[in-house]
Structures are given as C-alpha cells and as structure tokens.
Amino acid sequence: MTGRFITLEGGEGVGKSTQAKALAAALRARGVEVVETREPGGSPGAEAIRQLLLQGAVDRWSAEAEALLFAAARSDHVARTIRPALDLGKWVVCDRFLDSSIAYQGIVGHVGADAIRQLHEIGSGGFLPDRTLLLQMEGRAAAERTRTRDTEGPDRFGARDSAYHDRIGFAFEVLADEDPTRIRKVDAAGTAAEVTGRLVAALADLL
C-alpha cells in the first residue's frame, strides 16, 4: 500500500486531537497501518522544542521566533518520523502541520505566508500532506470545548483572546479556499462519531 500523509488542522477547541485518534482507529479498521503524530512534536528533538513553544507567558516569543522554532521542530519531525513511515507504506495522521504555522505566525502574526513557506522549503524541502482536513466550528462552541479540555490551564496559544482566535479561523478559511484540492473543510459540530465519519468520507478517494 502507498503511504499517505494526512493532517488535521483548525483553531483551538475544534477537536483535532480527539479526531486524529479516532481517524487513525477508523483507518486501522480498514486495514491501513497508521502512525499517529503531532506538531509541535512527533520526534525527540521536536518534542523538546514543543516545551519551549507551548510553555510560559503568551509574549515569551515573537511571531518570528515562533516561526523559526516551529520550522526547526518540523524539519526534525519530517526527517525522523514522517518520511520513514511513508517509505514503509504506512499512513501518517498528524495533529497540525505547516498550515498552522502559515495561519498563526504567517498570517495572524504578520511574518508572511511566503516567509513561512520559505522556512519550510529550507527545513523540510517543501514537503506537503496528501490531504489536509480542516475542522471548523462556530467560535463560541469551540471556546467552550477549550475551557472544558484545558483543566490545567491553556497553553501560550490557547490563552490568547477570542479576537485572536477569530483571526486564526479566518486565516484557515483563506488557506482552504486557496488550495481546495488538498485542504478539505469538515464540519466539527455534532457527535465525535459523526465528525469521524465526515473525515473518513473526505479521504474516500485516497482509500
């Protein structure tokens, strides 16, 4: 079987982490060998950088510094986890990838989408997913999910205000409209099983 790289994207509280696990399980039920991973993280070096990025005050890093750290973590993640799995014919399901950097640091952080893509070209050879599933949910519902989920308090990104998260949602919308072949919008409302079914349906042509 040909390996496939699938990413889940979206703002805070839309259920990416839960759905990444559920999607991986659904794919395994169809006989697909799946590696589950996440960003930032997914390899020892990238997990170390994850702590730097997510912990501390909201203003710990500038958007430019965040972009560089994410690119470094992603480079290690691609080289040590994602590409080796794909080379073995496995599917890789990843919670966030390049599109998050473009949305958060590139568009909302004003580093520039082209600058983020250039960093990705340097660090990861411009490597892109076969399919990106963009989970979308009304802002207030997503915020409530975030409050319920983050019992120990939000990370540096989750702690930012609602206006910031609204801008992130808009940025993802722009990216999806620019690349509808790769990025498929998926309604994240409803039961977890209903959302998983929509994700699997959005991969039908790859299965």
Residue of higher predicted confidence among 207 and 4: 4
Residue identified by tokens 């940025």 is 171
Question: Domain 5-206's class?
Answer: alpha beta
Per residue in 115-130, pLDDT tens? 999 999 999 999 999 9
Can you list the positions of beta strands (E) in the chain? 5-9, 34-38, 91-95, 131-136, 183-187
Domain ranges for the chain:
5-206
Confidence grade of residue 145 (pLDDT, cut at 50, 70, 90): low
Six-digit token pair at 107? Answer: 């568009």
Identify the band that residue 154 occupies on the pLDDT scale cut at 50, 70 and 90. Answer: confident
Residue type, 120: H
Is the pTM higher than 0.85? The answer reads: yes
pLDDT at site 142: 47
Burial class (CB within 10 angstroms; exposed 0-12, middle 13-18, buried 19+) of 52:
middle
**Which of 13, 14, 1, 2 shows the shortest CA–CA distance to 133?**
14
pLDDT in tens, 78-129: 999 999 999 999 999 999 999 999 999 999 999 999 999 999 999 999 999 9
| pLDDT of 37 higher than 50 | yes
- The stretch 61-67 carries a mean pLDDT of 96
Q: What is the dihedral of CA 110, 163, 186, 4, to 10 degrees?
A: 30
Question: Which pLDDT band holds residue 58 (cuts at 50, 70, 90)?
Answer: confident
**pLDDT at position 188:** 94
